[in-house]
Amino acid sequence: MANLSFHKLSAFPFDESAGFCATIGFFDGVHRGHHFLIEELLRTASERRLNPLVISFEEHPKLALSPAGYWPELLTTNDEKLKLLAQEGIPAVALLHFDVAMSRLTSAEFMQQILRDHLNVRCLLTGYDHHFGSDRASGFRDYVLQGKDLGIEVVKAQPFECDGIRISSSATRRFLHAGNVEMARMCLGRPYRLSGIVVEGHKAGSAMGWPTANLQPRCAEQVVPGKGVYVAKAVIHDGDSFASAGFSYMAMVNIGCRPTLDNGNDCTIEAHLLDWTGDALYGAHMTLCFYRRIRDEKRFASIEELQARIALDADFVKEFFASNAPED
C-alpha cells in the first residue's frame, strides 16, 4: 500500500469510483503557473467526466535523496498549500510520502502502483516539462505509451509565461532572496506571506519610540525575504490558529541584523504596526503580507539619524496604503 494521505477539500460530495483526472507536482507557493495548470486540469476533468485530483508530496522529494543537512526552501507550508488548492477549486489532494523506496519506482511502476492501483487515475495531465520515475530519461511519449497499457490517458499541459517570464517556484524564491517582493507577488498572484509567533525581542525599537512585534516563523524552512525594510500588512489572528480570521494593520517591517545597534549576526524579522494601540503582542499568531521593499538595511551614523530615517519609512508605508488597496 502506498504511503499517502487523501484530503477532501470540497464540501460537495463526489464519486471516487468515477475515477480521477490528476496532475502531479510539489505545488510550492501555488503560483500563477500552478493556477494555469489547475484551470487546465479542471477543464480536462470536466470534459472526461472525471474528478479532478492534485497529487503532491508531504515533504520535498529532495529530502529523501539528499545528504543529511539538506534544507529545502519553501514558499508555503502543507496547510497553506491545501488551503490555496481548495480556493482554486480542487476538491481533493493526495499527499504522497516520498521515500527512498518510492524514488526507485520507474515511471511505469509509479503509474501502475500509485496512479492506477491506489488512486484510480484515469487521465494524467503532465506539466510541460515534468518528469517522474527513476528512469529520468523517460518523457512524455514514454508516459503516453505506458498509459495506454494501463488504461491511463496522458495529456500534456501548455507552458505558462507572463511578460516573458517563465513563472516557477524557483524564480519566486530568487526574487524573494533579492528582496524583490513585488516580482514575487507577480509570480504568486498575491502578496508573499510569512506566518509565525510574536516573541520577545531586544526592545530597542520601544526605546526609540518605534515598538516592534518580532516574528518567529512557524516553518523554519520557509523563505524569508532578503534584508531590508518593507511595506507589509500584519494580520493578528484570533486565538491560536493561523487559519482563523483576525485584524489587519499597516506594518513597516525590518529584516536584518540592525547594524546601527551592533546586533552582530542575530537576524530578526521586526514589524512595527502603525495603527496598533494595544498591549504587547507576545505569543500572538501573526502573518506578514509583503507588498514593497522600501530600502536596503544600512548602518547609520547615530541613533538620531536612524530614528529620522524610520520616520520617513513610516510615512512611506502610510502613503502606500493611502494610494493602494492591497489585496489579501
Report all structural domains of the chain as residue ranges with CATH numbers, in order of start.
4-8+18-162 (3.40.50.620), 188-323 (2.40.30.30)
CB 91 within 8 A of CB 82: no
* Predicted pLDDT of residue 134: 82
Contact 87, 243 (CB under 8 A): no
Name the amino acid, one letter, at 167: I
Number of Cα atoms under 13 Å in the Cβ half of residue 88: 30
Using a 10 angstrom Cβ sphere, with 0-12 exposed, 13-18 middle and 19 or more buried, the burial of residue 138 is middle
Of residues 100, 136, 103, 108, the one with CA closest to residue 124 = 108
Question: In whole angstroms, how large is the CA radius of gyration of the chain?
Answer: 23
φ and ψ of 182, to 5 deg: -70, -40
Q: Using CA of residue 281, residue 321, residue 298, residue 304, what is the dihedral sign?
A: negative
HSE value, Cβ hemisphere, 13 Å, CA-based, for 245: 0
Question: In this structure, what are the phi and psi dihedrals at residue 247, rounded to the nearest 5 degrees?
Answer: -110, 145
Distance of CA 274 to the CA centre of its chain: 26
Compute the Cα dihedral for 69, 75, 79, 81 and give only its sign.
Answer: negative
Show the cell assigned to 239.
486565538
d(CA 262, CA 119): 56
Each of the 328 residues of the chain gets a pLDDT tens digit; together they read 468 899 999 877 788 788 999 999 999 999 999 999 999 999 999 999 999 999 999 988 887 777 666 778 999 999 999 999 999 999 999 999 988 888 899 999 999 999 999 999 999 999 877 788 888 778 889 999 999 999 999 999 987 877 777 889 999 999 999 999 999 999 999 999 999 999 987 665 555 557 889 999 999 899 999 999 999 999 998 776 666 667 899 999 999 976 656 665 678 899 999 988 877 788 999 999 999 999 998 887 778 888 888 899 999 999 999 998 666 6
What pTM does this model have?
0.89
As to burial, measured by CB atoms within 10 angstroms (0-12 exposed, 13-18 middle, 19+ buried), residue 276 is middle
